[in-house]
Amino acid sequence: MSRPLVIGTRGSRLALRQTEIALESLRSANPAAEFSVRTIRTEGDRTAASLAEIGGRGVFVIEIERALLAGEIDIAVHSLKDLPSDETKDVTIAAVLQREDPRDALVSRENTNLSELKPGASVGTGSPRRAAQILALRPDLRIADIRGNVDTRIRKVDKGQYDAVVLAVAGLVRLDSLDHAAQVFDVDEMLPAPGQGAIAIQVRADDAEAITIVKAADHSESRTAVMAERAFERRLGGGCHAAIAALGEVAGSVLLLRGLVGDPTGHLLRAEIKGQPADAESLGTTLAEQLLALGAAALMEVAP
């Protein structure tokens, strides 16, 4: 019998639901293992400031990784898109669970899709990636910064503070809230964030027992796709201010990776690449270099 393993997670409703999903996968793969859950409040949960102001996506994971490295927890569960593309020293992603729908959705006050919003309508998002792609589709709309969890953002639309918001389909599905979506964007309209829709499970790199238990829940195709996406983002090195999007899809022996870089005005550069799933990370790097050769660095430097 292995030792009981403590799982650390954020305390939001979505984070707790994702932890339930992770627990189901872990228990299915390891029927004899024992787990408990500990919630950890992160810097991202304590502030109403924008991600760009408080240091980017890492604010949702630093305290959890600190607890992991200190031995206070044995396993950390994250939305993979919250994890910076450079892995933390002495921590490893031991499993990527089977990915939920990675696309984005529009939640609007009158249940209208993007093309039906009135000129000048306000669309709430804190994501440069979403903002750039919205403006590429509808340059007449007004992008308005927004913070808060999924429920809070939907409530702000209902109260008329925003005409619409863009949210991840995966979060809506996990919270049984997909009925709020007026439109689910095709990936040709709105390419998702690297890792969007995937749940990552971290452990300490030297914890062989935890690695073995967690790896049993890994979904290889989802891992392959997100590793390509993260390599793409890592090579671009744009940070939290950059509009970077990527989506990998594995079909048999072929990995298709789409990538996008944009600026705050809605100017976008797109490219795609195909190759062997075993070459996922090198394909991500190559695709990023193709976009850099087309001028992506200049787009990422445009101030919002």
CA angle 291-168-89, nearest 5°?
65
What pLDDT digit, counting tens, does each position of 52-88 carry?
Answer: 444 445 667 888 999 999 999 999 999 999 898 888 9
Architecture of domain 104-184: 3-Layer(aba) Sandwich (3.40)
pLDDT in tens, the chain (304 residues): 478 999 999 999 999 999 999 999 999 999 999 999 999 986 555 445 444 444 445 667 888 999 999 999 999 999 999 898 888 999 999 999 999 999 999 999 999 999 999 999 999 999 999 999 999 999 999 999 998 889 999 999 999 999 999 999 999 999 999 999 999 999 999 999 999 999 999 999 999 999 999 999 999 999 999 999 999 999 998 666 789 999 999 999 999 999 999 999 999 999 999 999 999 999 999 999 999 999 999 998 886 6
In DSSP notation, 57-109 reads GGGGTHHHHHHHHTTS-SEEEEEGGGS-SSPPTTEEEEEEPPPPP--EEEEET
In DSSP notation, 41-59 reads --HHHH--S-HHHHTSGGG
Is 206 catalytic? The answer is: no
Give 105's contacts (C-beta < 8 A, 6+ positions apart).
Answer: 166, 167, 168, 169, 172, 178, 181, 182, 183, 184, 185
What pLDDT digit, counting tens, does each position of 140-168 carry?
Answer: 999 999 988 899 999 999 999 999 999 99
CB of 255 within 8 A of CB of 280? Answer: yes
Q: How far apart are CA 59 and CA 225, in angstroms?
A: 24
Q: How far apart are CA 137 and CA 29, in angstroms?
A: 43
Length of the chain measured in residues: 304
Indicate if 229-300 has the same CATH topology as 104-184: no
To which residue do tokens 């999924």 refer? Answer: 150
- The structure tokens listed for 180 are 């709020």
To which residue do tokens 């990995």 refer? Answer: 255
Q: What is the mean pLDDT of the chain?
A: 92
Superfamily of domain 229-300: Porphobilinogen deaminase, C-terminal domain (3.30.160.40)
Domain ranges of the chain: 5-97+198-218, 104-184, 229-300
CB of 37 within 8 A of CB of 9? Answer: yes
In DSSP notation, 110-142 reads TS--GGGSPTT-EEE-S-HHHHHHHHHH-TTSE
Of all residues in the chain, what percent carry a pLDDT higher than 70?
92
> Which among 82, 104, 163, 207 is annotated as catalytic?
82
To which residue do tokens 């890592």 refer? Answer: 234
Cα dihedral 78/80/85/88 (nearest 10): 20
Architecture of domain 5-97+198-218: 3-Layer(aba) Sandwich (3.40)
